[in-house]
A and B are shown apart, each in its own frame.
Chain A
Amino acid sequence: MVQQDGSQESFSMIENSSQRRHNASLFCTQNAANQAIENAILGQMPLTEEKVKLLETKAKEIRRSIIEMLIEAKSGHTAGPLDMADIFTYLYFHALKHDPKNPSWEYRDRFVLSSGHICPVLYATMAHAGYFPVEELKTLRKFGTRLQGHPHREWLPMLETSSGPLGSGISQTVGMAIADRIDNGRTSGKQFYCVTGDGELDEGNNWEGIMLAGKEKLQNLTVIVDRNNIQIDGFTEDIMPLNPLGDKWRAFNWHVVEIDGHNFRDIDRAFGEARAVFDRPSVIIANTIASKGVPAFERMFEWHGKPPGTEEEIKQAREALK
């Protein structure tokens, strides 16, 4: 169900860079003076033209996987997974310090998905990154699957958290960053990332966590908001206005970057900026097009929580992602 062209080449690139990071980090634990070198390696991986092309190819493969998973599962969410495919590709194939062959590697960055319902993009990206076989994606939402309808770390232990009920991911990531600071100070070399939806920001628990992160000046915490402007009942600004969204975060002492969530150069700039800012946590408000990649579904809140179901819809999705 997934086109595998080019994947061999990309995997070897990933393994090399992962190994390099791994070695750098181990080296760093022996000698704190090398921390800066490690950070330089991790934070300054250049986004070459070649790498952008690779990421674009990967993102398309991941979108294809998402659509095929949803068609097979006959339930699940379409809009968010499609519109976050670029960010997830960037995370797992460029930004995250991680090792798919050793998911519990102590020095890995931590990635928390707060909006658990967009897990098709998480599962698809993890599979393409080598965490588990791409074929397993077909089991999404079926009895006995590791790929539960909302992510559960007991079933898929390589997940950092279980999520589904909205609004709790930021606080968990804040807790992780605080715990790491207790053990390793402010220069542990780990980054803590959390992806949240925009409609999800209606939940009060988020703002409690955002307030605490501002107070604690968690410089290695980055939240990425999927600003697709839709939620189940309609457009976010009709249901519960969030704007001026950037100002809200700034008021809580966060560094705010607003970007085009489908432009890898933009994404790369934002992640670099988030890593560079040291006196506060960062939020990347990623403006995305709901259901990005399938024009017939794009921007429509009706696609928040359903899979392509009719023959027409399935055809539209497959054609668009050819």
Chain B
Amino acid sequence: MLNPHLKLNPKLLDPAVEQVPIRKGFGEGLLQAAETDKRVVGLCADLTESTHMLAFKQKFPERFIEIGVAEQNLATVASGMAAMGKIPFITSYAMFSPGRNWEQIRTTIAYNDRPVKIAGSHAGISVGPDGGTHQAIEDIALMRVIPRMVVISPCDAIQAKKATLAAAKTDDPTYIRLAREKTPVMTTEETPFEIGKAQIVFKSEKPDVGIIATGALLFKALKVAHKLSEEGKKVTVLNIHTIKPLDEEAIIKLAHESRAIVTIEEHQIIGGLGGAVAECLAAHFPVPIEFIGVKNEFGQSGKPDELLEHYGMGEKDIYAAVQRVVLRKK
């Protein structure tokens, strides 16, 4: 059942559940963070409206820097501003930041230990019609591998807002992964959020399988869990909104209880959430794992849902993965 302690959206499994783009929550969080902390500045690479930095720009024009289409400059100018005590938020599409400016992020932000917050919008394959060039499905891996970098992948707009507010309060370089498409609102303003603290969203006693999901696909995980529970299977679903630092304790505990894990992400399995969970469990408590995600290939144009199904991230794929992993249990 849905975890009552998280005060989730009561209409979560209702077909008419409200849908809001995750990136919108970022925009609201940035505005709120800027209102309470004048150190917060915003830099954008010619995508101010679609990355939801517009409201911030309008309210704080003197703290907004238009960088133009120059993502390497976006990262390095932000590093310089952070050196003077600012807390810069930089936005572009994830494919370009952190996609194009990885080395600048690594050297001038992470190695330099500057509290720059990188918001990568339009992440994942569900950006859809723009096609493979614009579908960032490697960004978690790119950021996760950098020492010091915190990696947050919120599941909905409300969580994105909380993640943005939380990131503004830390000294850590931080990557916040945002999706373009409208996403079911699963959490509420009352749902707790703490960087690095995983959430049991759907809970069963002595689960047969543990599902670990990140980002908007958490919704599909919950629908599958709901269906399985109606069929008498016991499932627990963990929301990993912070991929780094990984809540290893929660993951190991779930593996201990369920002895079978399915990971779900809109990202390459290599180096993504699946990779992170596998690294953790291989070291601490090896159990069979099935991975839902992109399997070492590029995307293409299409509608979000047809792409998710084509690349093996649909509900039926999750359902099948659960069946497979249960069969692999010893």
Contact = CB atoms under 8 A, between A and B. Distances in A.
Interface of A: 110, 112, 152-154, 160-165, 167-168, 171-180, 182-183, 204-205, 208-209, 211-212
B86 A179 contact: yes
A172 B104 CA distance: 10
Contacts of A168: 72, 76, 79, 104, 107-108
B41 A174 contact: no
Contacts, number: 95
A205 B67 CA distance: 12
Given A164-B107, A208-B72, A209-B73, 14 more contacts: A154-B111, A162-B108, A175-B81, A175-B82, A175-B84, A176-B81, A178-B80, A179-B80, A179-B81, A179-B84, A183-B84, A205-B73, A208-B67, A208-B70
Given A179-B85, A182-B62, A208 B73 contact: yes
A171 B83 contact: no
Interface in B70-128: 70, 72-73, 76-86, 88, 103-104, 107-108, 111-113
A177 B103 CA distance: 22
Given A152-B111, A205-B73, A165 B78 contact: no
Contacts of B41: 179, 182
B80 A212 contact: no
Contact of B79 (A164, A175, A177, A211): A175
B107 A162 contact: yes
Contacts of A183: 84
B76 A172 contact: yes
Contacts of B252: none
A212 B83 CA distance: 18
Contacts of B197: none
B77 A171 contact: yes
Contacts of B79: 161, 168, 171-172, 175
Interface residues of B, number: 28
Given A161-B108, A164-B107, A205-B73, A211 B80 contact: no
B83 A165 contact: no
Nearest to A179: B84
B65 interface: yes
Of the listed residues A152, A160, A172, the one surrounded by the most CB atoms of chain B closer than 10 A to its CB is A172
30 contacts: A110-B83, A152-B111, A161-B108, A162-B108, A163-B107, A165-B103, A168-B76, A168-B79, A168-B107, A171-B72, A171-B76, A171-B80, A175-B76, A175-B77, A175-B88, A176-B83, A176-B84, A178-B65, A178-B77, A178-B81, A179-B81, A180-B84, A182-B41, A182-B62, A182-B86, A208-B68, A209-B76, A211-B70, A212-B67, A212-B73
A4 B158 CA distance: 64
Interface string B111-153: 1110000000000000000000000000000000000000000
Contacts of A163: 107
Contacts of A212: 67-68, 70, 73, 77
Contacts of B324: none
Of the listed residues A153, A177, A179, A209, the one surrounded by the most CB atoms of chain B closer than 10 A to its CB is A179
Nearest to B88: A175
B63 interface: yes
A152 B77 CA distance: 18
B76 to A, nearest CB: 3
Nearest to A210: B73
A132 B85 CA distance: 25
A175 B78 contact: yes
Contact of B80 (A152, A173, A182): A173
A209 B77 contact: yes
Given A153-B112, A179-B41, A212-B67, A161 B83 contact: yes
B63 A176 contact: no
Contacts of B107: 162-165, 168
A175 B104 contact: no
For the complex of A and B, the 4 pairs showing the least CB-CB separation, nearest first, are A175-B80, A171-B76, A208-B73, A179-B84
Contact of B104 (A153, A205, A211): A205
Nearest to B45: A208
B73 A154 contact: no
A24 to B, nearest CB: 21
Contacts of A179: 41, 80-81, 83-86
B249 to A, nearest CB: 29
B111 A176 contact: no
Nearest to A173: B80
A121 to B, nearest CB: 21
